[in-house]
Structure 1
């Protein structure tokens, strides 16, 4: 059986266009993550792991060379996210959301915003996060309470609170969704056209983190609460026009960036553990367990296929990206359940890696857009499956 991690690195390292080589070095980061496996008491990655992430080159992987990046493709990014998620899905989620934010800066930022924000990533190793969710806002983020009030100097004053912000207290820069109160049609397909997206600095006055949540899955993802108390955003901190906000929110999917890449990493590790447990428990002589392993392997192959397909078509890749998110996360859950059956009762203890992986897979199904909304976006607004 081929080494899947080596295969993913080969995919990630492949250069398809001229320019600087796209070769992030994952070795040190993966070594740190392996050494910290199961250490989730703090609800966030360690400073050592974050330093290793900053030093790996992964944060600047898709950034164009003119801004100091490696010029990698979004297929490269998905492969990198999978590689991290094989060892630590929480770090994979942090990297996914960082690149989702970076993609919005690349695709929708002004030249000044690109120079400022992308250089902060490539030169200073700063990490991005996105903060949309609020209690009662709904999955489509069409009823948020956080406000952005225009100032006489052209800037904005942001006030409100956000929950389920992954990377809270870890990220240096945040894309914050806030209600601008602009007139005109209100509703978009995801978010609203009377909302704006703002670049917010964690070091700025008025920004605060109110702790991280005690989650069942993605326990090291630093998912928590942030607040904005009259935070002053400059005139150049609003990303695109408010009328474009729904399109900007969905931009990563257009590129083929998919949370299915995280689920794939989880599924690969669960499959490896199933094989290991079957050999250790001398189950390979049983046709029942051999056939179960075959089913797990075939499902894993299907997940690899749909995640790879997310970046294959030309043009708008939203449908394959959202489809990959749904299929990969739900199939990863099934692979984890099968692996637990093979491993036996020990796999249901809190400390067992398969229990953690099963919770991580479940978390991916719930992360935005959650799977039911992905189905709605694909079938109602973006064509049919």
Structure 2
């Protein structure tokens, strides 16, 4: 199986309904099932555990390919692999290996209910057993999933964050269909309610635990690079659509001295700027993915300095992908013309999707970290956001 060819086949299929699904919102059930049947949910799982044995560059390239036509589906697919990385990095081998095997064999989809900034879900002891109770926001991909990565704070331990891998259909979990934002409308990033949800001891990710070692601190960097790949793929898709429209539909301005819009020197200038900026993002993102694979291969031997240098590289790529993407997705109407704003085309979805996702964490703080590295040689302090 060639994962990239499979992704391209799926992307061609998803593109046929992307406009309508963007308008409708909700769960992309058909597309999620297609990903299940494709085998790509096992892409990052080692071969000896039933997976495809893909590295991070291959996995994130698939995210990028899907994002060209459907950044919401690319988001939940990438988050699935991020959740697998979470259990790999935070849990014992005796925990994550069986989870990986079940995922590959049973086509589990993993969803997210880990939001460290949302501390409304708390841990309590009931009859000697831990239970999670409270609300959680931004639960991307949680609906139509088989496993959830969920977090809660433990007041008895001074507000310590506990993270667990639990069945999505466990009693007490309610996943709300209340995600109705202007972009990324099919990521199911709505809220969840935990009502005395039982959490078994062997479902807690305690050894080595969250952000406990430089290797465990790769988890937030994988998340950041995932977003960079979504942004890059989304922007590449937007540019492809703009090029097609300019060549086939756009009309030259009345003062232009050319027969076709694609011959207009001002239009060509815009496309030249788009291309130069996007080529820079491609190089940054691809370099960061190569560096992530090198860091991943180090395993527990990864040093804090190596992790810090990778954090700078990924932050650089993410900032560039975010800024360039927003610029191109906004300016594409300058090279397509007024008729390209008709609602049926929904070319605005590229900007809307990128704008919503790029607010996941402020670019200004990424730039501050990169600036401190560039000026003072200070590596970023690990957190759940980088």
Same fold by TM-score, threshold 0.5 exceeded?
yes
Is it true that 1:371 corresponds to 2:363 in the alignment? yes
Counterpart for residue 121 of structure 2: 146
> Could you say which residue in structure 2 is the equivalent of 1:165?
139
Shift of 1:309: 1.4
Alpha-carbon distance in structure 2 between the residues aligned to 1:244 and 1:46: 31
Aligned residue in 2 for 1:263 = 231
C-alpha distance after superposition, 1:54-98 (max 9, x if no partner) = 012221111112221111110111100001001100001101111
- How far off is 1:200 after superposition? 2.2
Q: Does 1:305 align with 2:280?
A: no
Which runs of structure 2 are paired with 1:160-309 in the superposition (5 Å)? 160-181=134-155, 183=157, 194-240=160-206, 244-245=210-211, 248=216, 251-253=219-221, 257-280=225-248, 281=250, 282-309=260-287
The structural deviation recorded for 1:52 is 0.6
TM-score by length of 1: 0.82
Change (3 A) 1:180 1:46: same
Task: Return the index of the structure with the highest Cα Rg.
Answer: 2
Partner residue in 1 for 2:89? 107
Pick the aligned partner of 1:354 from 323, 341, 347: 347
Could you tell me how far apart the structure 2 residues matched to 1:61 and 1:267 are?
A: 24
Q: Which residue of the partner structure matches residue 123 of structure 1?
A: 105
1:97/1:175 Cα in 2 relative to 1: closer, same or farther (>3 Å)? Answer: same
Which deviates the most, 114-123 or 56-65? 114-123
Of 328, 331, 343, the residue aligned with 1:338 is 331
Distance of aligned partners of 1:245 and 1:120 in 2 relative to their CA distance in 1, 3 Å threshold: same
Superposed displacement of residue 212, structure 1: 2.9
Distance 1:329 1:61 in 2: 26
1:95 aligns with 2:77: yes
> For 2:4 and 2:237, how far apart are their aligned partners in 1?
23
**Residue 130 of structure 1: SS of its match in structure 2?**
strand
Does 1:37 pair with 2:18? yes
The aligned residue for residue 48 of structure 1 is 30
- SS of the equivalent of 1:240 reads coil
2:58 aligns to what? 76
Structure 2 CA distance for aligned equivalents of residues 93 and 117 of structure 1: 21
Question: 2:228 and 2:188 mapped to 1: Cα distance?
Answer: 20
In 1, Cα distance between equivalents of 2:133 and 2:369: 30
Offset, 1:376: 4.7
Give the number of equivalent residue pairs: 348
TM-superposed deviation, 1:318? 2.3
TM-score scaled by structure 2? 0.82
Deviation at 1:29, TM superposition (A): 2.4
Q: Is the 8 A contact 2:4 2:61 kept in 1?
A: no
Equivalent-residue separation in structure 2 for 1:242 and 1:372 (angstroms):
31
Q: Could you tell me which residue of structure 2 aligns to residue 3 of structure 1? A: none
SS at match of 1:263: helix
Distance 1:256 1:168, change over 3 A: closer
User: C-alpha separation between the residues in 2 aligned to 1:99 and 1:143?
Assistant: 22
Q: How many angstroms does 1:217 deviate by?
A: 0.7
Q: Is the 8 A contact 1:274 1:293 kept in 2?
A: no
Alpha-carbon shift at residue 322 of structure 1 (Å): 2.6
1:69 partner SS: coil
Is the 1:63–1:69 Cα contact (8 Å) retained in structure 2?
Answer: yes
Q: Which runs of 5+ in 1 are unaligned?
A: 1-11, 14-21, 134-140, 187-193
Structure 2: gaps spanning 5 or more residues:
251-259, 296-306, 373-377, 382-386
SS at match of 2:26: coil
